[in-house]
Chains A and B, each alone.
Chain A
Amino acid sequence: MDFSFTPEHEELRQTVRRFLEKESTEQIVRKLMETESGYDPKTWARMASELSLVGLAVPEQFGGAGYGPVELAIVFEEMGRVLFCGPYLSTAVLAAGAFMHAAEAAPRAKLLGEIAAGRAIATLALAEASGRWDLESIAMRARRDGARWRLEGVKDYVLDGNLAGIVLVAARADDGLALFLVEGGAAGFERNPLPALDLTRKLARLSFANTPAERISGAGDCAPALERVIGQAIAMLAAEQAGGAQRCLEMSVEYAKTRLQFGRPIGSFQAIKHKCADLLVETEFARSAAYNAAFCAAGGDDAELAQAAHIAKSYCSEAYFHAAADNIQIHGGMGFTWEHPAHLYFKRARASSVIFGDPVAHRLKLAAALGA
């Protein structure tokens, strides 16, 4: 695999970075994280129209920009650096991906464009009370009711589930796993925002009591398609984690150069310097893992993507957590305060390490894939 980013990729990175430097400052992040919706609709609209970021990986025929996972990963890496607050992972990756890979033509034609245009926030509800993201653990049943379907049960830890206008739900039908669309005001549909450890990403518990739903996946099991969607989402989350880890390392190094104790910069002490060097190794490895997953997602081989996703999710989760934890340690007492942003990264790192499965789960799946 050739990990070459083109000059156009670099340009995209710079454009996104400049935009986020203005629209996702620490001050803005702190303001948005205290709101219930957790995002700024004006910024979201600009991201959709001016920068075409929301539909970046959506085909042009549906009003998207027609790019793919590699470009999307660049955006995520930049968003991770600044803890961007908004329903990007849920809408632009999970829901858009579900429409592209797991939905039939009619619902796709009807709704994918709405997402790309920034008119609809959307999400995909996968996990349940077990908190596992593997598809085998999905127990929720869907019952046929004439031309429609009825859903019964609870979906947990749903990203942006409190605000999504389009809610896609994975549930078991008679012919296997299927994908359902639930409308916001549907009968028996209840949303409960969860008080999140990571304030910068909103979570909700969604309950369905005999709730009417429209089946959007075709006949038969849609698990393979959903695996691909999850693999791509992991690649994007891994890029976000790599960006966050990189930013934590930069904060640590900047501080270690200027903070004086015992008459010299703390970065001149090997205890701090070596911590930073180890973080550098992990951060570079995390980038390799995330880029590899993004290139595999673009490559279209599902088995390759699955393996790259296990590697990326496992490694980037731990690398980000180490970087965020050491960033607090290197900043000393200052790093423990509410006022300093270190805790925001620490919480983001912790929460994102479990979304789509924790490192141990992915390592054991990788071992199985290797025949070990």
Chain B
Amino acid sequence: MAERQITEADLRARVRKLLDEAHPDRVDQFTFRGKQYDLGLAWVHFPEGFGGLGLSPAMQAIVADEIARNAKTLYDDMAINPIGIGMGAPTVLTHGTEWMKTTLLRRIFTGEDTWCQLFSEPGAGSDVAGLATRAVREGDYFTVNGQKVWTSLAHVSRWGMLLARSDPDAPKHLGMSYFLLDMHSPGVEVRPLHQITGEAEFNEVFLTDVKIPADRIMGKQGEGWKVAITTLMNERTAIGGAAARRGGGSIGILLEMWKERQPGRFAADCETVMRDRIARLYIESELLRLTNQRARAARKAGNPGPEGSVAKLAQAEMNKRIWECAMDVLGADSMVYEAGYARRRPSLQSRTTHLAMAKYQFLRARANSIEGGTSEVMRNILGERVLGLPGEPRGDKDVPWKSIPRSA
């Protein structure tokens, strides 16, 4: 691509051109976002022709800002196709075939095709590279058998990013291949996975003699882990409850619940203890927000430090304690679960009051320290990558995957 300088003003002008041609307040989602893609405004850091302009990723904020100034209908990538846009598109761009790039990227962005990620298995959680779903090559096809779990959006997905073991004799990281799976293929069965709240945010995906054409592989056969790293590097672990402004998020709800408590609910001495706990949580919440601010400032200045790495661990642990405290504010009433445990897909309508929110979040927050890296794994990462402490001796390196002990 020829070197060329696109200034902020150029970019804003380009957005206004988009709005002239297809205004989101007047055309539907697919039309508007299709046009946004065609003008290189979908993800400006992608190359031209694939929804981008070869600019710095930071300039995407200018696009969003210009759209927000001129339109009421605003689309949220994370609501439209979080896994496809967040993880699928960068993986396709880096490792996908020409067919994948020309056919799939646009439909990912418009939201016509929802994507899901098929990595975790019942026997491969924190140790996802130990996965056991088998992919056996038979001529122009791979035949896949196995089970995936914790698959968000699988029930509505058109495409899945599938990591499977193609060579069990190779060491674990070297024997995997990465496939683009048509979720409508015969042998793909999606079942809702009901969690602690009774709801099913996630799915189990059973793969039985599923045929995948050999040209749907991403990267090379046996190099699936490398491709998976690209996907995982783009993973955004969004745990609910982070306060974007002072006293917002989970801690804001806890504070309000405390202020709304029944008079006489606590004895005077108990009130003091609760006040201390709530102030402690407020402090941690505020310091997480300020630490994230420091991390942003450091990134902007070009010298990211450890402040950026501590957020996931800190937030997961803090969020759990905030909701535990909220249950203590409710006291005996915390034994009642008005929403019930109906086995269904999540519905935000059931969580419109503080009371319902607190009881739901108390249960849901348990996953915060498990999903997107358990707190134990996060502590290993902080210890090893940030502080430089040595790793643990391992029994699973440089040996064939099939000889590594596995849970039954």
Which A residues have a C-beta under 8 Å from some C-beta of B?
A: 1-4, 249, 253, 256-257, 264-265, 267-270, 272-274, 276-278, 280-281, 284-285, 287-289, 291-292, 311, 314-315, 360, 363-364, 366-367, 370-372
Contact = CB atoms under 8 A, between A and B. Distances in A.
Contacts of B388: 253, 257
B344 interface: no
B283 interface: yes
Contact of B387 (A1, A264, A280, A288): A280
Contacts of A267: 383, 389-390
Interface residues of B, number: 43
A269 to B, nearest CB: 8
B276 A253 contact: no
Contacts of B275: 363-364, 367, 372
Contacts of B387: 249, 253, 276-277, 280
A80 B353 CA distance: 47
Contact of B276 (A4, A284, A363, A371): A363
B376 interface: yes
Contacts of B386: 280
Contact of B272 (A278, A292, A364, A370): A364
B330 to A, nearest CB: 16
A281 B160 CA distance: 35
A289 B287 contact: yes
Contacts of A288: 287, 290-291, 293-294, 307
Given A276-B387, A288-B293, 12 more contacts: A268-B393, A273-B379, A277-B313, A285-B284, A285-B291, A285-B310, A315-B284, A363-B283, A364-B275, A364-B276, A367-B279, A372-B259
Nearest to B392: A268
The DSSP consensus for interface residues of chain A is helix
A177 to B, nearest CB: 26
A251 to B, nearest CB: 12
Contacts of A363: 275-276, 279-280, 283
Contacts of B279: 314, 363-364, 366-367, 370, 372
Contacts of A4: 297, 300-301
Contacts of B280: 314, 363
Given A280-B306, A280-B382, A372-B259, A289 B290 contact: yes
Interface in B272-298: 272, 275-276, 278-280, 282-284, 286-288, 290-291, 293-294, 297
A372 B255 contact: yes
A274 B376 contact: yes
Interface string B303-346: 00011001001100000000000000000000000000000000
A274 B392 CA distance: 12
A186 to B, nearest CB: 42
22 contacts: A2-B297, A249-B387, A257-B388, A265-B389, A267-B389, A268-B392, A272-B389, A273-B389, A277-B378, A277-B387, A280-B306, A284-B291, A285-B288, A285-B310, A288-B307, A311-B283, A314-B280, A366-B283, A370-B247, A370-B282, A372-B258, A372-B279
Contact of B383 (A264, A277, A292, A360): A277
B293 to A, nearest CB: 6
Nearest to A249: B387
A90 B388 CA distance: 38
A3 B294 contact: yes
A289 B297 CA distance: 15
Contacts of A311: 283, 286-287
Interface centre among B279, B306, B310 (most CB of A within 10 A): B279
Nearest to A311: B283
A270 B376 contact: yes
Nearest to A318: B280
A288 B314 CA distance: 14
Contacts of A273: 379-380, 383-384, 389
B263 interface: no
Nearest to A286: B287
B278 A276 contact: no
B308 to A, nearest CB: 9
Contacts of A253: 387-389
Contacts of A2: 293, 297
A257 B390 contact: yes
The DSSP consensus for interface residues of chain B is helix
A272 B382 CA distance: 12
Contact of A270 (B287, B300, B314, B392): B392
Contact of A281 (B293, B300, B382): B382
A78 to B, nearest CB: 17
A372 B278 contact: yes
The 9 tightest CB contacts between A and B, nearest first, are: A273-B383, A267-B389, A277-B379, A363-B279, A277-B382, A288-B290, A367-B275, A285-B287, A274-B379
Given A257-B388, A281-B313, A371 B382 contact: no
B391 interface: yes
A315 B255 contact: no
A371 B279 CA distance: 11
Nearest to A363: B279
A371 B258 CA distance: 10
Nearest to A362: B279
A291 to B, nearest CB: 7
Contacts of B379: 270, 273-274, 277-278
Contacts of B301: 4
B276 A360 contact: yes
Contacts of A276: 382-383, 387, 389
A205 to B, nearest CB: 30
Interface in B382-407: 382-384, 386-393
Contacts of B283: 289, 311, 314-315, 363, 366
B303 to A, nearest CB: 10
Contacts of B383: 267, 270, 273-274, 276-277
Contacts of A370: 247, 255, 279, 282
A284 B376 CA distance: 19
Contacts of A265: 389-390
B313 to A, nearest CB: 6
Contacts of A372: 255, 258-259, 275, 278-279, 282
A287 B297 CA distance: 14
Interface in B163-194: none
